[in-house]
Amino acid sequence: MRQPGAERRPNPESACRKETFMRGRIPISPSTRPFAVLGHPVSHSLSPLMHNANFNALGMDAVYLAFDVQPRHLLETLRAMWRMGFGGVNITVPLKQTAYAGIRHLDVSARRMGAVNTVAFAA
């Protein structure tokens, strides 16, 4: 809480990070861990904005992306993301049942629901 009459001074470093983030310019490096949301369509998703804000706030070297994936390409996309080192992905409608049908190792909640919401890639 600020003292009455106290001046609020902007933090130039914080302002620069915020401006970079808000313009969609998220710094990445060879060690940045990618995560994603997959859907069709997916352009309306707020997941990248929310997850990247959290990664930034926590100082994590990670980036969250959105990919529009046709259902017929989902399984090959998941295999490619695993090979590229993605940490995991979230799946939106209409891809949830396609993921369920094509993923070998399902947890109890996915089996009960008959759909997949999240895929965590094991190293």
- Active site (catalytic) residues: 96
- Give the closest residue to 43 by CA, choosing from 58, 24, 13, 65: 65
